[in-house]
């Protein structure tokens, strides 16, 4: 078992922040996982499990053991005339799972194309895009309890999914390692293009979407047109969560900003945080090495050389500015370490 010391994590976080981990280990199979869980290095150090590094911002060196999930494999577990169950291991890139599914014309996952990160991290965040969330397709997941090393299966309900939230971000935070997930998809056409941006793109380009891959390709093109490539410009996708308000607050805002977009979702009112940030004057704005992307106000970018503290300070300027203008608190979607 090879544990590395003073390991540079710059290439393992999509912000490209230069930080080191005191200890570093790669899990390539379940025996690696069992071995590291039983090791003295694991028992005596702070632990951080790392996937694609696409939803994390390091603010300092990590004084502990970083464990990189490289468990690989995607397979069809079972199927019937209507549905198919696909299992993917945690170290797979999320988009690779999407590609596998849409190439087989399975429906249900296509709207979540090109979301950065790994399969193992997807349930923690309850990832979602263009009107679909992981909770809509997850059948179950396999995990290992960190303290005991025992394997446990969680069904969808047990994950306590919420908006960009799950049991693994709350009461079970840091207590389980997710080794694989199983999604239940449809073999029948389940076209879902009701999300406004996707619907408008289809109409503007006169697209006829017949397969799940057609939808996946459209979503991918939209994302590429709006979001910077982390390999070119350091970012973690959406830095902030969208916000939910009550009817009273909505009425107050509409009096001042009648043009404001809002959405009714499950008896809640969602305000796009990108609109709030843009209206507060931050879209495309840069301070030092950090800025808000010119095409998508939810995305904070590292223009090169920024550390995590500089990025957090910049984010706090935006948070304060939005609160001052609208009386609304916005919160990071990215995990701060």
Which DSSP letter does residue 185 get?
Answer: E
Structure pTM?
0.81
C-alpha torsion angle, residues 259, 264, 268, 269 (rounded to 10):
-10
158 is catalytic: no
Task: Convert the pLDDT of each residue in 219-231 to its tens digit.
Answer: 999 988 888 888 8
Which residue shows structure tokens 């290439």? 11
Give the pLDDT of residue 98.
97
Q: What whole-number distance in Å separates Cα of residue 135 and Cα of residue 166?
A: 10
Which residue shows structure tokens 């830095």? 239
Structural element, H or E, at residue 255: helix 247-256
Catalytic hit among 113, 166, 179, 238: 238
pLDDT band at residue 127 under the 50/70/90 scheme = very high
Which of 17-26, 146-155, 196-205, 278-287 shows the lowest mean pLDDT across its residues? 196-205
* Helices vs. strands in the chain: H and E counts, helices first: 9, 20
238 is catalytic: yes
Catalytic hit among 113, 164, 166, 179: 164
Tokens describing residue 52: 């694609």
Neighbour-count burial for 65-96, b at 16+ CB within 10 Å, e otherwise: bbbbbbbeebeeeeeeeebbbbbbbbbbbbbe
Q: What whole-number distance in Å separates Cα of residue 141 and Cα of residue 133?
A: 15
Section 5-16 average pLDDT: 93
């Amino acid at each position: 078992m090879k544990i590395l010391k003073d390991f540079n994590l710059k290439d393992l976080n999509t912000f490209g922040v230069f930080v080191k981990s005191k200890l570093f280990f790669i899990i390539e199979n379940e025996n690696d996982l069992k071995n590291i869980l039983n090791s003295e290095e694991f028992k005596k150090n702070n632990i951080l499990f790392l996937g694609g590094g696409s939803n994390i911002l390091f603010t300092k060196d990590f004084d502990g053991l970083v464990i990189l999930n490289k468990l690989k494999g995607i397979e069809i577990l079972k199927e019937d005339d209507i549905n198919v169950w696909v299992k993917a291991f945690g170290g797979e890139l999320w988009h690779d799972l999407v590609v596998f599914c849409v190439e087989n014309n399975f429906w249900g996952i296509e709207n979540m194309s090109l979301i950065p990160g790994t399969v193992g991290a997807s349930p923690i965040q309850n990832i979602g895009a263009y009107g679909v969330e992981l909770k809509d397709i997850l059948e179950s997941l396999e995990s290992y309890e960190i303290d005991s090393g025992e394997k446990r299966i969680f069904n969808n309900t047990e994950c306590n999914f919420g908006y960009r939230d799950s049991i693994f971000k709350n009461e079970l935070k840091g207590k389980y390692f997710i080794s694989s997930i199983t999604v239940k998809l449809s073999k029948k056409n389940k076209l879902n293009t009701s999300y406004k941006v996707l619907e408008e793109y289809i109409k503007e380009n006169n697209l006829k979407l017949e397969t799940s891959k057609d939808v996946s390709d459209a979503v991918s093109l939209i994302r590429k047109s709006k979001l910077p490539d982390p390999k070119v410009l350091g970012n973690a996708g959406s830095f902030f969560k969208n916000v939910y308000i009550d009817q009273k607050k909505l009425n107050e805002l509409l009096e001042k900003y009648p043009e404001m977009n809002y959405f009714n979702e499950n008896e809640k009112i969602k305000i796009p945080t990108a609109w709030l940030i843009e209206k507060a004057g931050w879209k495309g704005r840069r301070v030092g090495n950090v800025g808000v992307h010119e095409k998508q106000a939810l995305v904070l970018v590292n223009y090169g050389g920024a550390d995590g503290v500089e990025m957090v300070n910049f984010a706090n300027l935006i948070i304060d500015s939005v609160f001052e203008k609208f009386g609304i608190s916005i919160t990071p979607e990215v995990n701060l370490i």
